[in-house]
Amino acid sequence: MIQVLRDIPARRIILGITGGIAAYKAAELTRLLIKQGTHVQVAMTEAACHFITPTTMQALSGHPVLTNLWISNQGINNQGNGSQESDNQSYNSDDGMLHIHASRTTDAIVIAPASADFIAKLAHGLADDLLSTLCLARNCPLIVAPAMNRQMWENTATQRNIQQLISDGVILLGPDSGSQACGEEGMGRMQEAAHLARDIQAFLQPKLLPKLLTDTHILLTAGPTYEAIDAVRGITNRSSGKMGYAVAQAALELGAKVTLISGPTALSAPQGAKLIQVTSAADMLQAVQQQVADADIFIGVAAVADYRATQTSTQKIKKGATKLSLDLLPNPDILGYVASLPKPPFCVGFAAESHDLIKHAHEKRLIKNIPLIVANLAQQAIGADDNELILIDHAGEHVLPRADKLTLARDLLKHIVALRHSLTHPIKVRA
Ligand code: PMT
């Protein structure tokens, strides 16, 4: 557990609880956050009150709970309990503007659990109760921990809403996969309270994380490339950039300087990363060549198109009655280029395969002559929010079980730090 340092100011969050069986986990989350030194103001939807009572949450947080948009002065009086006394601060809600004031002195709003219905509201900017109004009127980051049945999670509408939240810059924590209250098995469980508390603290108090990558420049590629055929058509793939952006986020958390070279995606770059947007593999190679000189670690997460059209047309090619053949040229191998530099950074590749995953990934690691390759099943990894990784290095295979991409990225970086250290500081065995 990360320790709270005395000289770091307490952080303030609004913990929004929505209706779902996972609401009981919000009680433990509140306890853990307060223990970590976070000031927690709870706000609950009407549905949430059917699952856990405001009295319980008031007792745990030490403050009256916000439930109603129409009652001014309903609570945030911050009489405080012992641990939160120093944070006492009154929100003036006499003017009926509680939904505006509440987020102004808050470092983040965390919705845990976030039901499918509430996620839909957020995605569409609806504000018909206190919590959704608080979210729409906020001027602070929004963190969302989804919790729902697996079919609800997989439903196209929910996935569309989640994509919307991600592109709106909302931070998504989870969900996890596992057994569900309804008896089914799959994605949709809210992350455990301890896991959420750790991630929320990492977000609020980045100074508390061990800075394993201070003074380290990580250069990484993410997303697809787009190889034009004519003015309107091209060759690309379904990489969303989520895995690469998660690696960039995790590297920043560990104190690295991050340069993210990204093909076309709908994502916002993590705050603090230097983003270089490119389109084609040739552009990506050129950007890598310009940035690689002082890179300590290079991570190729991008799904670079293997081929491009030999000839491109600046105009739209007109449809004809006869057969049309496309002549393709192989693209330059960006990771191969970096790995073969006279003084290469520590190189990590990714391999997305549809079959014989381990075999192909082993071969790629040897052909590219890199210390570590990260294997994932293409059909499960591309575009998804969660993934499963197999890290392959000289010592063998190491599985990172299914989890959201940010959790995997954090574990991957810890592995990279340890492997890089062990390869540059080998243990000397006495003869
Ligand atoms: O973006 P997401 O939707 O989150 O999906 C993530 C992902 C599935 C794209 C990612 O996890 C992944 O596996 N990326 C590598 C995709 C791939 O199949 O790469 P590859 O097998 O073609 O190439 C192997 C390695 O060489 C990769 O590190 C790649 O970045 C690199 N490469 C490949 C070709 C090329 N011309 N230049 C390269 O640098």
Q: Which domains are seen in the chain, by residue range?
A: 2-204 (3.40.50.1950), 211-309+326-424 (3.40.50.10300)
Count the Cβ atoms, other than its own, within 10 Å of residue 340. 12
User: Strand pairing partners for 189?
Assistant: 176
Beta bridge partners of residue 258, listed in sequence order: 218
**374 Cα nearest atom in ligand 1:** 13
For residues 246 and 408, the answer to whether their CB atoms sit within 8 Å is yes
The tokens of 117 are what? 């219905």
CA of 305 to the centre of ligand 1 (A): 9
Give Dmax over CA atoms of the chain in angstroms.
Answer: 81
Q: Which residues contact 384 (CB under 8 A, 6 or more apart)?
A: 242
Q: Is 163 exposed, middle or buried (0-12, 13-18, 19+ CB in 10 A)?
A: middle
Q: Provide the annotated active-site residues.
A: 182
- 329 in helix, strand or coil? strand
Distances (CA, A) of 338 to 150, 162, 199, 285: 41, 35, 33, 9
CA angle, corner 219, sides to 269 and 392, nearest 5? 105
Distance of CA 283 from the midpoint of ligand 1 (Å): 16
pLDDT at site 172: 86
User: What is the rounded distance in angstroms from the CA atom of residue 41 to the CA atom of residue 134?
Assistant: 12
pLDDT tens per residue across all 431 residues of the chain: 333 333 445 689 999 999 999 999 999 999 999 988 899 999 999 999 999 999 999 999 999 999 987 665 555 444 333 333 333 344 445 666 666 677 778 899 999 999 999 999 999 999 999 999 999 999 899 999 999 999 999 999 999 999 898 878 888 888 888 777 777 778 889 989 988 998 888 788 666 566 789 889 999 999 999 999 999 999 999 999 999 999 999 999 888 999 999 999 988 888 789 999 999 999 999 999 999 999 999 999 999 999 999 999 999 999 988 999 999 999 999 999 999 999 999 999 999 999 999 999 999 999 999 999 999 999 999 999 889 999 999 989 999 998 889 889 989 998 999 899 888 766 555 55
Q: Is the CB of 221 inside a 6 Å radius of any atom of ligand 1?
A: yes
Kindly state if the Cβ of 409 falls inside 6 Å of ligand 1: no
Per-residue exposure over 240-264, b if at least 16 CB sit within 10 Å of its own CB, e if not: bbbbbbbbbbbbbbbbbbbbbbbbb
12, 409, 426, 69: which is closest to 222 by C-alpha?
409
Best probe residue, ligand 1, of 226, 236, 335 (max atoms within 8 Å of C-beta): 335
Pairing, β 217-222 against β 171-172: unpaired
Interatomic CA distance for residues 14 and 67, integer angstroms: 12
Predicted pLDDT of residue 77: 42
Q: Whose CA is nearest to atom 23 of ligand 1?
A: 351
- The pLDDT assigned to 81 comes to 38
Residue 7's pLDDT is what? Answer: 43
The answer to whether 334 and 256 have CB atoms below 8 angstroms apart is no
Crossing angle (nearest 10°) for helices 54-61 and 23-35: 10
Whether ligand 1 lies within 6 angstroms of the CB of 243 is answered as yes
CA distance 65 to 67: 6
Give the residue, out of 226, 280, 350, with the most ligand 1 atoms within 8 A of its beta carbon, to mutate for a pocket test.
350
- Expressed in angstroms and rounded, the spacing between residue 349 Cα and the centre of ligand 1 is 7
**Short-list 281, 332, 329, 272, CA closest to 302:** 281
The best mutation among 304, 338, 400, 405 to test binding of ligand 1, ranked by most ligand atoms within 8 Å of the C-beta, falls on 304
Asked whether 242 lines ligand 1 (CB < 6 A), one says yes
Residue 363 CA to ligand 1 centre (angstroms)? 14
292 pocket-lining for ligand 1 (C-beta < 6 Å) = no
Ligand 1 atom nearest residue 242's Cα: 4
For residue 287, what is the DSSP state?
H
Which atom of ligand 1 is nearest the CA belonging to 330? 36
Please tell me the residue having the least CA distance from ligand 1 atom 36. Answer: 333
Amino acid occupying residue 295: A
348 close to ligand 1 (CB < 6 Angstrom): no
Cα 122 to Cα 18: distance, rounded to the nearest angstrom: 12
CA of 65 to the centre of ligand 1 (A): 47
pLDDT of residue 176: 83
Pairing type for strands 386-393 and 396-404 reads antiparallel
> Are the C-beta atoms of 153 and 116 separated by less than 8 Å?
yes
